[in-house]
């Protein structure tokens, strides 16, 4: 009893001591301490030699007495690094995983450290060698954990300042630079990203931005949504950038520590200033018609994209832009990412104006000279006859027209040259073999056709997608199709949704809790469910009633999971909160027997258990006595690090598959007792 009392007294003393030590640590001071104790620990191995011990593909425990010494070049003060710091000596750099937050108070940028590595573990994350403390199993594979005994492992020295960053070019960055401080000169952000934020501070999402040099070489700058500068605006100038270089597989990427790592106040490479004055597209066309070969100085045009890169009937380097006065083709130096219906500004200052087989274009435009203003309003097509199109071909070139009571002849499918006719005449229509609808059968009988007026030596029409056939304006009024019917079309061999169709249902996935990627949602109606994959991150919340125009959109499977793929975000509209469909009560055996039919719908499993403990993250096996199925949780999910229940519970989930059957929960409310 006395022994137990001694233990209690000792434990109470220990807790008070820890609390006392913690209360002495000022986690709010503005600058790290400027003093320190010189290191009396010598290195016996360089960081480069340490990294060379890593056996590719295998977590490698360090058995030898190894001590490395270097300087911290990146910490967590700004929030752009989390539970890891970057450590560098004259030979190389390495990312050190540490079980500590706000560690910049102890291991700030510029502090010299020595690390006792014996017993630690080397691992790799998509090409970046890391130094960690232990290994653990997750999702059936061995993972690298962080250093827990850092007080015993890491010796702190003086604040000696960071080494001079190595001056590199985008193309010269290589494996030897990984996890080191580098400097790029004469670089700038992509013009289309100027004025945007570094990351999504509101949604706390990490975003990639593009750094480019004057030769068009690019690299990713990656910024955490938790960083203190996430909501700051991207600068528009040219200059220097200091950053930590890393990779993600084959993708080169950079991380800055603070905004002061960016000094971009010079003139941009390609002359776009962001201060150009607006002119109309008609004024640009008049300049060419009067003998001009380039746009005037300090001018830009603004319009709505009326071509559709996602459906492939326009070359990926081209787009067609229309404003209230006319239209024009813009040809970029490399593939662009502007979608149908997007409003954009295009700098035309001193840019080439020329014809390609009779079609006027702003030619060879640097991609950075076009900037998105977000979703715009598509112009209403001009109602016209074929003869009116022919009579006004030059004036109406690169604008939308609508021809009623038209027929398409000359072939059996959309591919190559066909003929559009009405009571007044005929004109060519061309479909590229790369178009998503190339090979689809031509409509029989009279239709209403929406198209872009174009020419290839002779006048021709170009449609954007199958919405343009049979409807008006932006495709008429598509008719509803049930999700089960859409799935049946895919099972019958169709690779695309029919023309003039839309779906409507309730969002049963939960973007806010992160267990789906930002571009995906799961939609369920009374007949079934399906995954919708947008071209960019969407904003539709769990329980929202939405309608999506899917006319001509790709139907495809991703690892067995059916999806409507690459849907433009502008195709979806919300009707506000809807009524969540009731989850189908089922056993695991019933889910497995009805996988394809029930895929992307809600089910409820009674009295189910996880066969192993730990956190939700990764793949976990569920068992209800009738069978087993995988429950998968992304590491980005808000509940990924919560522990799974240890007793039987009721589970609500979305039926899914990744080659094999699995279920996906939306949030912890799906776990019931």
Q: Which stretch of DSSP H or E encloses residue 572?
A: strand 572-577
Given a contact cutoff of 8 angstroms between Cβ atoms, the answer to whether 630 and 621 are in contact is yes
Looking at residue 668, what DSSP letter applies?
G
What percentage of the chain reaches a pLDDT higher than 90?
77
**pLDDT digit string, tens, across residues 509-522:** 999 999 999 999 99
- The model's pTM is 0.48
Q: Which value, to the nearest 10 degrees, does the dihedral of the CA atoms of residues 464, 468, 472, 478 take?
A: -120
Please give the pLDDT value at position 20.
Answer: 39
Q: Where are the beta strands (DSSP E) in 60-147?
A: 60-61, 67-74, 84-88, 93-97, 111-116, 121-125, 128-132, 134-138, 141-145
Helix (H) or strand (E) holding 31: none
Q: In the prediction, which pLDDT does 531 show? A: 97
Burial of 47 (0-12, 13-18, 19+ CB in 10 A): buried
Inter-residue contact 603 to 640 (CB < 8 Å): no
In this predicted structure, the answer to whether residue 16 has a pLDDT above a threshold of 60 is: no
Can you give the pLDDT at residue 5? Answer: 37
Helix (H) or strand (E) holding 265: strand 262-266
Q: What pLDDT shows up at residue 271?
A: 56
Alpha-carbon 278 to chain mean position:
31
> What is each CA distance from 617 to 602, 609, 668, in whole angstroms?
21, 16, 13
pLDDT of residue 388: 95
CB 103 within 8 A of CB 252: no
Sign of the Cα pseudo-torsion (441, 445, 446, 447, in order): negative
The pLDDT of residue 1 is above 50: no
Interatomic CA distance for residues 177 and 48, integer angstroms: 11
Alpha carbon dihedral 411, 416, 418, 420, in 10-degree steps, equals 140
Return the structure tokens found at 463. Answer: 């449609």
Rounded to whole angstroms, the Cα distance separating 183 from 166 reads 6
Strands 238-248 and 251-255: antiparallel
* Helix (H/G/I), strand (E/B), else coil: 489: helix
pLDDT at residue 414, rounded to an integer: 92
Average pLDDT for 553-560: 92
Question: For the chain, how big is the Rg over CA atoms in Å?
Answer: 30
Domains of the chain in start order, with CATH, are: 47-159 (2.40.50), 179-266 (2.40.50), 277-375 (2.40.50.550), 382-468 (2.40.50.200), 479-577 (2.40.50.140), 584-672 (2.40.50.140)
Using pLDDT thresholds of 50, 70 and 90, give the confidence band for residue 471.
Answer: very low
Q: What mean pLDDT, rounded, does the chain reach? A: 90
Pairwise pLDDT comparison (463 vs 467), residue with the higher score: 463
CA separation for the pair 316, 314 (Å, rounded): 6
Residue 420 has a pLDDT of 95
pLDDT band at 25 (very low <50, low <70, confident <90, very high): very low
**Tens digits of per-residue pLDDT, 74-127?**
999 999 999 999 999 999 999 999 999 999 999 999 999 999 999 999 999 999
**Tokens encoding 504:** 């409507």
Q: What is the pLDDT of residues 602-655, one digit of tens each?
A: 999 999 999 999 999 999 999 999 999 999 999 999 999 999 999 999 999 999
Q: What percent of the chain has pLDDT over 70?
A: 93
Tokens of 541: 């919340």
- Taking residues 552-567, report their average pLDDT: 92
CB-side exposure of 138: number of CA atoms within 13 Å? Answer: 18
Strand, helix or coil for residue 470:
coil
Q: What pLDDT shows up at residue 616?
A: 95
Q: DSSP 3-state assignment of 324?
A: coil
Instruction: Report the alpha-carbon distance of residue 352 to residue 543 in Å, rounded.
Output: 50
Torsion of CA 93, 95, 96, 101, to 10 degrees: 130
Comparison of pLDDT for 531 and 3, the residue scoring more: 531
* 273 — pLDDT class (breaks 50, 70, 90): low
* N- to C-terminal Cα separation, the chain: 41
In this predicted structure, what is the pLDDT of residue 640? 95
Q: What are the backbone angles phi and psi of residue 341, rounded to the nearest 5°?
A: 90, 0
Q: What are the structure tokens assigned to 238, written together?
A: 């040219």
**Long-range contacts (CB closer than 8 Å, 24 or more residues apart) made by 404-411:** 404/448, 405/446, 405/448, 406/446, 406/447, 406/448, 406/449, 407/445, 407/446, 407/447, 408/442, 408/443, 408/447, 408/449, 408/469, 409/442, 411/442
Using DSSP's 3-state secondary structure scheme, residue 621 falls into strand
Q: What is the DSSP annotation of 401-467?
A: EEEEEEEEESSSBSSEEEEEEETTEEEEEEE-TTSTTTTPBPPPS-EEEEEEEEEESEEEEE--SGG
Q: Is it the case that residue 474 has pLDDT exceeding 50?
A: no
Render pLDDT for 385-398 as a digit per residue (tens, 0 to 9): 999 999 999 999 99
Q: Tell me the pLDDT tens digit for each residue of 56-76.
A: 999 999 999 999 999 999 999
Beta strands in 48-206 (DSSP E): 60-61, 67-74, 84-88, 93-97, 111-116, 121-125, 128-132, 134-138, 141-145, 154-159, 166-168, 181-189
β-pair partners for 631: 620, 663
pLDDT at 476: 45
**DSSP class of residue 577?**
E
Predicted local distance difference test score (pLDDT) of residue 472: 35
Residue 236 has pLDDT above 90, yes or no: no
**Per-residue pLDDT reduced to its tens digit, 384-440:** 999 999 999 999 999 999 998 889 999 888 999 999 999 999 999 999 999 999 988
pLDDT higher than threshold 90 for residue 588:
yes
The reported pLDDT for the residue numbered 194 is: 85
- Residue 15 pLDDT exceeds 50: no
Burial class (CB in 10 A: 0-12, 13-18, 19+), 90: exposed
> Bigger pLDDT: 602 or 501?
602
pLDDT band, residue 559 (cuts 50/70/90): very high
Q: Which residues contact 523 (CB under 8 A, 6 or more apart)?
A: 483, 503, 505, 506, 507, 508, 529, 530, 531, 532, 546, 548, 600
């Amino acid at each position: 009893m006395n022994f137990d009392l001694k233990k209690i007294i000792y434990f109470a003393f220990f807790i008070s001591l820890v609390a006392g030590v913690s209360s002495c640590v000022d986690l709010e001071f503005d600058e790290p301490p400027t003093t320190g104790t010189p290191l009396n620990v010598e290195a016996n191995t360089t960081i480069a030699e340490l990294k060379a011990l890593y056996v590719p593909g295998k977590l490698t425990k360090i058995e030898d007495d190894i001590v490395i010494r270097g300087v911290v070049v990146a910490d967590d003060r700004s929030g752009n690094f989390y539970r890891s710091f970057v450590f560098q000596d004259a030979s190389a750099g390495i990312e050190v995983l540490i079980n500590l937050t706000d560690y910049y108070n102890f291991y700030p940028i510029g502090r010299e450290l020595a690390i006792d590595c014996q017993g630690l573990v080397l691992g790799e994350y998509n090409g970046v060698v890391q130094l960690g403390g232990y290994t653990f199993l997750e999702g059936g594979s061995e993972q690298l954990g962080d250093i827990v005994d850092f007080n015993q492992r890491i010796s702190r020295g003086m604040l000696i300042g960071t080494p001079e960053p190595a001056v590199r070019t985008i193309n010269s960055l290589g494996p030897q630079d990984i996890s080191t401080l580098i400097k790029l000169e004469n670089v700038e952000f992509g013009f289309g990203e100027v004025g945007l934020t570094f990351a999504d501070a509101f949604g706390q999402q990490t975003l990639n931005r593009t750094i480019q040099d004057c030769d068009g070489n690019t690299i990713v700058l990656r910024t955490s949504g938790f960083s203190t500068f996430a909501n700051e605006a991207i600068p528009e100038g040219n200059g220097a950038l200091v950053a930590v270089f890393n990779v993600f597989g084959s993708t080169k990427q950079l991380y800055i520590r603070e905004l002061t790592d960016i000094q971009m106040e010079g003139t941009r490479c390609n002359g776009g200033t962001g201060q150009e004055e607006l002119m109309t597209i008609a004024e640009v066309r008049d300049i060419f018609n009067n003998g001009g070969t380039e746009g005037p100085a300090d001018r830009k045009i603004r319009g709505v994209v009326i071509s559709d890169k996602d459906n492939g009937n326009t070359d990926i380097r081209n787009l067609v832009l229309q404003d209230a006065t006319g239209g024009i083709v813009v040809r970029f130096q490399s593939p662009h990412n502007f979608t149908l219906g997007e409003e954009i500004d295009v700098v035309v200052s001193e840019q080439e104006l020329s014809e390609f087989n009779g079609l006027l274009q702003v030619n060879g435009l640097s991609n950075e000279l076009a900037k998105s203003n977000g979703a715009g309003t598509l112009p209403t097509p001009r109602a016209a006859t074929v003869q009116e199109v022919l009579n006004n071909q030059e004036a109406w070139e690169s604008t939308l027209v609508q021809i009623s009571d038209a027929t398409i002849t000359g072939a059996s499918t959309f591919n190559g040259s066909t003929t559009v006719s009405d009571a007044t005449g005929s004109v060519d229509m061309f479909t590229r073999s790369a178009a998503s609808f190339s090979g689809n059968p031509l409509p029989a009988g009279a239709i209403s056709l929406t198209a872009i007026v174009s020419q290839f030596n002779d006048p021709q029409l170009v449609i954007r997608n199958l919405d343009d056939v049979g409807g008006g304006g932006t495709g008429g009024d598509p008719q509803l199709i049930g999700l089960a019917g859409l799935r049946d079309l895919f099972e019958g061999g169709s690779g695309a949704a029919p023309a003039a169709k839309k779906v409507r249902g309730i969002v049963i996935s939960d973007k806010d809790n992160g267990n789906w990627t930002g571009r995906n949602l799961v939609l369920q109606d009374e007949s079934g469910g399906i995954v919708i994959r947008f071209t960019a991150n969407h904003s539709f919340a769990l329980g929202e009633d939405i309608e999506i125009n899917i006319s001509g959109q790709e139907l495809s499977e991703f690892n067995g999971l059916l999806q409507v793929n690459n849907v433009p975000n502008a195709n979806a509209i919300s009707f506000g909160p809807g009524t969540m469909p009731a989850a189908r009560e089922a056993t695991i055996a019933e889910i497995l027997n009805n996988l394809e039919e029930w895929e992307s719908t809600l089910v409820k499993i009674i009295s189910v258990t996880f066969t192993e403990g730990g956190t939700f993250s990764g793949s976990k096996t569920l068992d209800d006595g009738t069978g087993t199925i995988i429950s998968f949780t992304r590491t980005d999910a808000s509940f990924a690090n919560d522990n799974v229940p240890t007793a039987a519970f009721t589970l609500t989930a979305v039926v899914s598959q990744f080659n094999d059957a699995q279920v996906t929960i939306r949030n912890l409310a799906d776990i019931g007792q």
